[in-house]
Amino acid sequence: MDHFLYRDGVLQAEDVPLPEIARVVGTPAYVYSAATLLRHYRLFDDALAWGPHLVCYAVKAASNVALLKLLGDAGAGMDVVSEGEYRRARAAGVPGERIVFSGVGKTEGEMRHVLGNGIRQINLESEPEYRLLSRVASEMGVEVPVTVRVNPDVDAKTHEKIATGRKEDKFGIPIARARETYAEVAALPGLRVVGIDVHIGSQLIDLDPFRQAYRKVADLTESLRADGHSIERLDLGGGLGIPYARSNAAPPVPSEYGQVIRDEVGHLGCEIEIEPGRLIAGNAGILLASVTYVKQGEGRDFLILDAAMNDLIRPAMYGAHHDIVPLREPAPGAEPATYDVVGPVCESGDTFAKGRTMAAVGAGDVVAFRSAGAYGAVMSSEYNSRPMVPEVLVDGADWAVIRPRPTYDDMLRRETVPDWL
pLDDT of residue 169: 52
Q: Residue 166 class from Cβ within 10 Å (0-12 exposed, 13-18 middle, 19+ buried)?
A: middle
CA atoms within 13 A on the CB side of 239: 25
Q: Name the band, by pLDDT with cuts 50, 70 and 90, for residue 240.
A: confident
Q: Name the band, by pLDDT with cuts 50, 70 and 90, for residue 33.
A: very high
Domains of the chain: 4-31+282-413 (2.40.37.10), 63-276 (3.20.20.10)
Sequence-separated (6 or more) residues with CB below 8 Å from residue 245: 321, 323
User: By mean pLDDT, which of 101-115, 244-258, 308-322 is the weakest?
Assistant: 244-258
pLDDT of residue 238: 87
Alpha carbons 149 and 84: distance in angstroms, whole number: 21
pLDDT of residue 9: 97
What is the percentage of the chain residues whose pLDDT exceeds 90? Answer: 86
Average pLDDT over residues 248-254: 80
pLDDT of residue 163: 44
Question: For 275-418, where are the E strands, in sequence order?
Answer: 285-296, 301-305, 324-326, 336-342, 351-359, 366-369, 391-395, 398-403
Please determine, for residue 244, whether its predicted confidence score (pLDDT) is greater than 90: no
User: Which one from 1, 187, 346, 421 is the annotated catalytic residue?
Assistant: 346
Q: Name the band, by pLDDT with cuts 50, 70 and 90, for residue 249.
A: low
Q: Name the band, by pLDDT with cuts 50, 70 and 90, for residue 204.
A: confident
One-letter amino acid of 175: I
Q: Name the band, by pLDDT with cuts 50, 70 and 90, for residue 242.
A: confident
Provide the 8-state DSSP code for 207. S
One-letter amino acid of 205: I
Furthest C-alpha separation in the chain: 71
Q: Name the band, by pLDDT with cuts 50, 70 and 90, for residue 246.
A: low
Show the DSSP H helices in 13-105 as ranges: 18-25, 34-47, 65-73, 83-91
Average pLDDT over residues 100-125: 97
One-letter amino acid of 89: A
pLDDT of residue 171: 65
Alpha carbons 396 and 414: distance in angstroms, whole number: 36
3-state secondary structure of 98: helix
State how beta strands 16-17 and 10-13 pair.
Answer: antiparallel
Please determine, for residue 311, whether its predicted confidence score (pLDDT) is greater than 50: yes
Please determine, for residue 157, whether its predicted confidence score (pLDDT) is greater than 60: no
pLDDT of residue 298: 86
pLDDT of residue 158: 44
Pick 209 or 69 by higher pLDDT: 69
pLDDT tens column, 161-177: 444 444 555 567 889 89
Could you tell me which of 356, 317, 363 has the C-alpha nearest to residue 338? 356
Average pLDDT over residues 120-128: 96
Provide the 8-state DSSP code for 251. P
Please determine, for residue 391, whether its predicted confidence score (pLDDT) is greater than 90: yes
pLDDT of residue 205: 82
Please determine, for residue 201, whether its predicted confidence score (pLDDT) is greater than 90: no
The verdict on whether 56 is a catalytic residue reads no
The Cβ of residue 398 has, within 10 Å, a number of other Cβ atoms equal to 11
What is the percentage of the chain residues whose pLDDT exceeds 70? Answer: 95
pTM of the model: 0.94
Please determine, for residue 159, whether its predicted confidence score (pLDDT) is greater than 50: no
